[in-house]
Chains A and B, each alone.
Chain A
Amino acid sequence: MTTAESLSGPKGDSPLLVRSSADAFTAARAEGRGALVGYLPVGFPSVPGSLAALKALCGEGGDGPGVDLVEIGLPYSDPMMDGPVIQRAGTRALERGVRTRDVFAAVEAVRSTGTPAVVMTYWNLVDRYGTEAFARDLSNAGGSGLITPDLIPDEADDWLAASDAYGLDRIFLVSPSSTDERIVSTTAACRGWVYATAVMGVTGTRSSSPTAAPELVARIRALSPETLVGVGLGVSTGAQASDVCGYADAVIVGSAFIKPLLAADDAGTPDDFSGLRAVLADLTAGVRR
């Protein structure tokens, strides 16, 4: 999980150095705070519009800081883990013609701001593209790795090999229902950090911080003290983000960023990122509280 390890891939000599996404966590920790991870899907409100939105998420064009790490979603026809907000944005992106290859342009857009990027995708899209080819193109674009919500390490032989070859982070999920044995084996299979799903449920904003999250993070800490932990699912406000950063290394926010973009799209002003920037200001302040 060291930086040197993340540079060991074939693109180690690139001017666009592939950074481990864990660096974003450790840099935030050096400032005495938790990291903010922001999710947006490529292709919504359009492919160019999503690249602009992703840059705005990194702080471009705004007054304050951006997120520490971007999680770029690749819309999928059957998003089993996504709640209604992300589904709606993903459906619109697919209707408007987003393709798998567009995710690499999105990675480059994020990297142009200096912020690291990981891709979150359901497995069939990578499988269809070719696991090795996807790893190669993600690495070439400057991406740090993949979050795989429906791929568990048990089925991930191809991805383990490809991520090793290209020095990419592989972020698997653990859940409150995971046994101790599975927390140990899953965190061992991760590189970069582990994604702790804070509540039993799909993505979407919730009104209060979930109670299962601190307990899950404590179990991960006890079983795998070296592993960095990001907590996702259910966080929408700066207060909740601050709370999560009290016990986790990073807080992951998706639906709360997408809601204002959906509202702007509905209002016929898809390029209006003011709502997104307001949520960003609240959350970036939250992790610095």
Chain B
Amino acid sequence: MNSGVTYSSLPDAAGHYDIFGGRYVPEALVAALNQLEAEFDTAMGDTAFWRELDDLRRNYSGRPTPLTEAKRFSEHCGNARVLLKREDLNHTGSHKINNVLGQALLTRRMGKTRVIAETGAGQHGVATATAAALLGMECRVYMGRVDTDRQALNVARMQLLGAEVIAVESGSQTLKDAMNEAMRDWVASVDNTHYLIGTVAGPHPFPKMVKEFHRVISTEIREQMLGRFGRLPDAVAACVGGGSNAMGTFADFIDTPEVQLWGFEAGGDGVDTGRHAAAIEGGSVGVLHGMRTYILQDADGQTLESHSISAGLDYPGVGPEHSWLAATGRARYEAVTDAEAMAAFELLTRTEGIMPAIESAHALAGVVRLGRRLAVQQPDAEPTIVVCLSGRGDKDVATAIEYFGLTGRPDSATGGVA
């Protein structure tokens, strides 16, 4: 980090985090992005906007979310004391609602009546459909065909909420292709439609705006740590796909260097196998979906397909501010494999009675690794680590049944617990 510059001074007016970010978009979208940026800037200084958002957070979403000490889980993490930021207890089951409520209110301020969204696991799609139902807006959600198949429950949830779900058949038929299709829709519909991007990615001002709507995660962590323990955590940790729950977890600590920032990407079968979704750990700098950032690409710059057991992390890019935090060394990023994540999924469920989303299980696996490593490197230290439990695991039961080879039949019928 260059002297004299605080991290929170970025992005610049054009959305750049040094070489990352910016706006690599068709001219047809520039007016809509400018309108959104102006509306967002105005809303940020409008107490009426914040009062309404705060009311929804408290009385609709259920904030503040608890900070739960995971004592039995911590026994597996070296000397670390692990606390869980319970974003899984939000309405709709994940942190995604934080951003969706903010953008939905902005949509109404702009006089637009329709929202579109991309979704991977379906969590953002469900959250968007929920906000659309709440505010009486038309909603269409784009979802890759591969994801509609593996997250059928969330497809049905969106439909029950009144949203139209479009299965995207192009490309790798996952989150990146859903984003392309949503962009195409938006180019043709900007007059009445807001594209409600679900992560800290895409063209400026999305990375900055989505971060601000998730900042509440770290603001609450800070207050809860100081209120209950009289100190800040030694580290905060989160999983990183596009990176929205991680950016919310980092936001209020970025300018507090004594708090370490850890992001855990989806390592799939392992970064060295090429079958992964770790854009920072295993990618290179390029342009995708309107931003310059770390992406998975081949020698020509064609986007490579990502691979992860977690639909929500199965994305070949990452938010530009994460790329910048990685490049400057302020935050550190490591990849967690499918196998490590599923082991952590099982561990938290069995030790704490909390079933995490597989996305969040990547952060938990990272913290197990981090705690054990610190126990070797600094045996006398007893670090306090807050990990963002970004979502609950109900949606992942079908994946878990398949992964762990469960039968779904009573144990009495199979002769005991496997």
> CB within 8 Å of B: which residues of A?
76-81, 83, 87, 91, 94, 99-100, 123-125, 127-129, 149-152, 154-155, 172-179, 182, 186, 197, 199-202
Contact = CB atoms under 8 A, between A and B. Distances in A.
Given A78-B171, A129-B300, A152-B23, A202 B30 contact: no
Contacts of A99: 300
A136 B358 CA distance: 48
A124 B297 CA distance: 10
Contacts of B26: 80-81, 149-150, 173, 175, 197
Looking at chain B's contact residues, is the secondary structure mostly helix, strand, loop, or mixed? Answer: mixed
Interface string B386-410: 0000000000000000000000000
A217 B288 CA distance: 30
Interface stretch (B2-10, B49-57, B181-189, B333-341): B181-189
B27 A77 contact: no
Nearest to A79: B180
Nearest to A151: B24
B31 A178 contact: yes
B382 to A, nearest CB: 46
B176 A78 contact: yes
Nearest to A203: B184
Contacts of B180: 78-80
A200 B187 contact: yes
Given A78-B180, A99-B300, A100-B301, A91 B27 contact: no
Contacts of B295: 124
A37 to B, nearest CB: 18
Contact of A78 (B14, B27, B189, B303): B303
A105 to B, nearest CB: 15
Contacts of B302: 76-77, 94, 125
Interface string B298-330: 011111000000000000000000000000000
B27 A197 contact: yes
13 contacts: A78-B171, A91-B171, A127-B286, A129-B300, A150-B26, A173-B28, A175-B28, A177-B32, A177-B190, A182-B31, A199-B188, A200-B187, A200-B191
B287 interface: yes
B25 interface: yes
B391 to A, nearest CB: 26
Given A79-B180, A125-B300, A201 B24 contact: no
Given A77-B302, A200-B28, 9 more contacts: A77-B171, A80-B289, A100-B300, A124-B287, A129-B301, A173-B26, A178-B31, A179-B31, A200-B189
